[in-house]
């Protein structure tokens, strides 16, 4: 009898604990935070995932574990990529080495490239393809002074003009400027040349059926004088008249479809991967910066990580995401949005949901989040990291934890002197070209927000590294949920990050799909995979 009573009392004593445990589990499943305080239970409803920037809390929890592994002999930089995914793709020899002269040109094509460095790059390469399609002579593209980039650089100040013309000479005729006698036909004013409005992503058929006939029509119109007679010398056959004409397409960004015939794709490949190289001043400084990064990475065999960090003020403002800056941050972002986009974000009916943006993977990763991701993937504190970026929002505050995790962190401002950078200051495309080159030659490239810069880099790195991008493209939806868990364990976090690294490795060798760009996916349009027989011959 006494034993039974004691058992019942024991159950009664443990009942509150069982109840509290059940409450913790239940409330946790319903987004409630449950805490024990002064012998009681305090329940607070947890904000929906993504609505609160919890990454600093996660870092506070995980930092001791990162520090404990700082002296570990393992560094993912040495084994980041699995050799089995490197399938030996090689450039397919896209240049036409024939010395045969090109057919007589149908006239001059003038295009205006707009946007930043890689938007300009896209326009240039597409223009080469269109010039080849129309058998036209391409005039070195004009760069539009973009209201966002505000860079007045001309083609030759960013790219090597002579090399570009020479590399294309057997495929497309390129000239630096419209000849003076041709320009005189248009009152020495480029703007007087007919501007053909071409729709975005136009097909080659459109150019052949709409643009080319227009050019021929213009040629016929140029042949006639104001009196209605042919402007020809006495005895000259009008049918043999060789009058030159020109057309202009502005703007030209994204004016050619992704899917075109192989010979036109080949011109895109040739232009992007072979003909376009940076001007000599950019190349000289960029090569010096790459050498410095390799020297700084002596503990990792000269290998380093590059990160394209899109945490600039305009990017944070445009994303409509919220971090931990409170009312001051909100005020600054409102000002930035109004300054750059003039009421776009205040239109009637527009609802901004920062939490939904974060969970949907649309928020720029902070330097802190990038650092935690890389440490979780196994990159230790001896890793040299190069950050390619514009002016980071509140850099002193947000860059500090990344430097804490990776003391060997560099930017163009730390590995180049003020005197070396002086000619490039105020020219965003030239500065971007420096970043592009250092990222191109890194062992690992990390993209954090998308855009033309990482897309072109991923493709260029595939082209250079046997068809493999060697690029970490994080799953930002998954990261948003992981960074929302301040109690997450280091072991769980590491497994998730290493799975993400493996996924990037697997996806690194993707082939181009019909709707995708060859500037990001150069296989199989610009590269070929040697057959076993070819491989045996090359090995022997």
Question: Which pLDDT tens digits describe the chain residue by residue (540 residues)?
Answer: 555 444 555 545 555 555 555 544 444 444 555 555 555 555 556 678 888 999 999 999 999 999 998 766 678 998 889 888 877 899 987 665 566 689 889 999 999 998 899 999 999 999 999 999 999 999 999 998 765 567 889 999 999 999 999 999 999 999 999 999 888 888 999 989 989 989 999 999 999 999 998 877 765 555 444 443 334 343 444 334 445 588 999 989 899 999 999 999 999 999 999 999 999 999 999 999 999 999 999 989 999 999 999 999 999 999 999 999 999 999 999 999 998 888 888 888 888 899 999 999 999 999 999 999 999 999 999 999 999 999 999 999 999 999 999 999 999 999 999 999 999 999 999 999 999 999 999 999 999 988 999 999 999 999 999 999 999 999 999 999 999 999 999 999 999 999 999 999 999 999 999 999 999 999 999 999 876 444 443 443
How many CA atoms does the CB half-sphere of 217 hold within 13 Å?
A: 7
Quick check: 117 and 429 in contact, CB under 8 A?
A: yes
Distance CA 87, CA 508 (A): 11
- Asked whether the beta carbons of 158 and 278 are under 8 A apart, the reply is yes
Given this model, what pLDDT does residue 392 score?
A: 95
| Cβ proximity of 251 and 115 under 8 Å | no
CA angle, residues 403, 409, 413, in degrees to nearest 5: 115
pLDDT score, position 461: 97
SS3 (DSSP) at 105: coil
Distance CA 377, CA 437 (A): 25
User: Strand 32-37 and strand 40-45: pairing?
Assistant: antiparallel
Element containing residue 413 per DSSP (H, E): helix 412-415
Torsion angle defined by CA atoms of residues 139, 140, 141 and 144, in that order, rounded to the nearest 10 degrees: -120
Please answer whether residues 327 and 472 qualify as being in contact, where contact means their C-beta atoms are separated by less than 8 angstroms: no
Termini Cα distance of the chain:
92
- What angle (nearest 5°) sits at the alpha carbon of residue 328, between those of residues 349 and 325? 95
* The predicted structure's pLDDT at residue 242: 45
Q: In whole angstroms, what is the distance from residue 46 CA to residue 486 CA?
A: 12
Beta strand ranges found along 101-150 (DSSP E): 108-113, 137-139, 142-143
Ranges assigned E (strand) in 255-408: 305-308, 385-388
**Preceding omega of 236 cis (within 30 degrees of 0):** no
pLDDT at residue 214, rounded to an integer: 80
């Amino acid at each position: 009898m006494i034993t039974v009573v004691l058992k019942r009392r024991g159950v009664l004593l443990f009942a509150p604990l069982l109840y509290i445990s059940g409450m913790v589990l239940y409330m946790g499943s319903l987004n409630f935070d449950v805490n024990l305080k002064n012998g009681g239970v305090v329940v607070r409803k947890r904000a929906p995932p993504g609505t609160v920037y919890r990454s600093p809390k996660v870092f506070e929890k995980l930092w001791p574990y990162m520090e404990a592994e700082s002296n570990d002999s393992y560094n993912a930089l040495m084994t980041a990529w699995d050799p089995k995914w490197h399938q030996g793709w090689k450039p397919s020899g896209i240049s036409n080495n024939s010395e045969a002269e090109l057919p007589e040109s149908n006239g001059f094509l003038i295009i205006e490239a707009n946007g930043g460095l890689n938007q300009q790059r896209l326009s240039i390469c597409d223009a080469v393809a269109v010039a080849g399609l129309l058998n036209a002579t391409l005039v070195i593209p004009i760069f539009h002074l973009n209201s966002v980039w505000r860079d007045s650089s001309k083609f030759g100040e960013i790219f090597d003009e002579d090399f570009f013309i020479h590399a294309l000479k057997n495929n497309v005729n390129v000239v630096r400027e419209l000849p003076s006698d041709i320009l005189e036909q248009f009152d020495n004013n480029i703007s007087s040349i007919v501007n053909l409005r071409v729709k975005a992503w136009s097909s080659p058929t459109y150019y052949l059926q709409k643009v080319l006939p227009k050019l021929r029509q213009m040629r016929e119109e140029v042949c006639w004088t104001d009196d209605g007679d042919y402007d020809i010398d006495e005895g000259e056959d009008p049918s043999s008249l060789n009058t030159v004409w020109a057309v202009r397409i502005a703007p030209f960004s994204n004016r050619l479809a992704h899917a075109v015939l192989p010979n036109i794709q080949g011109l895109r490949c040739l232009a992007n991967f072979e003909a376009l190289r940076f001007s000599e001043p950019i190349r000289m400084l960029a090569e010096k910066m790459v050498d410095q990064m390799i020297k700084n990475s002596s503990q990792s065999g000269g290998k380093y990580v590059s990160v394209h960090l899109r945490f600039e003020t305009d990017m944070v403002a445009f994303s409509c995401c919220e971090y931990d800056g409170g009312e001051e941050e909100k005020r600054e972002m409102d000002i930035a949005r109004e300054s750059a986009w003039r009421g776009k974000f205040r239109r009637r009916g527009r609802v901004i949901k920062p939490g939904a943006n974060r969970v949907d993977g649309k928020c720029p990763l902070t330097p802190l989040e990038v650092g935690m991701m890389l440490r979780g993937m196994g990159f230790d504190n001896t890793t040299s990291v190069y950050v390619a970026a514009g002016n980071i929002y509140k850099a002193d505050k947000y860059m500090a934890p990344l430097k804490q995790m990776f003391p060997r962190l560099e930017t163009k401002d730390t590995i180049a002197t003020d005197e070396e950078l002086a000619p490039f200051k105020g020219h965003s495309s030239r500065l971007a070209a420096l970043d592009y080159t250092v990222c191109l030659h890194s062992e690992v490239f990390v993209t954090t927000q998308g855009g033309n810069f990482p897309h072109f880099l991923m493709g260029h790195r595939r082209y250079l590294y046997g068809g493999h991008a060697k690029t970490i493209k994080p799953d930002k939806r998954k990261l948003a949920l992981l960074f929302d868990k301040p109690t997450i364990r280091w072991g769980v976090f590491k497994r998730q990050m290493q799975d993400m690294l493996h996924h990037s490795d697997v996806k690194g060798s993707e082939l181009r799909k019909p709707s995708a760009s060859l500037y990001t996916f150069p296989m199989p349009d610009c590269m070929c995979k040697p057959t076993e027989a070819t491989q045996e011959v090359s090995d022997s």
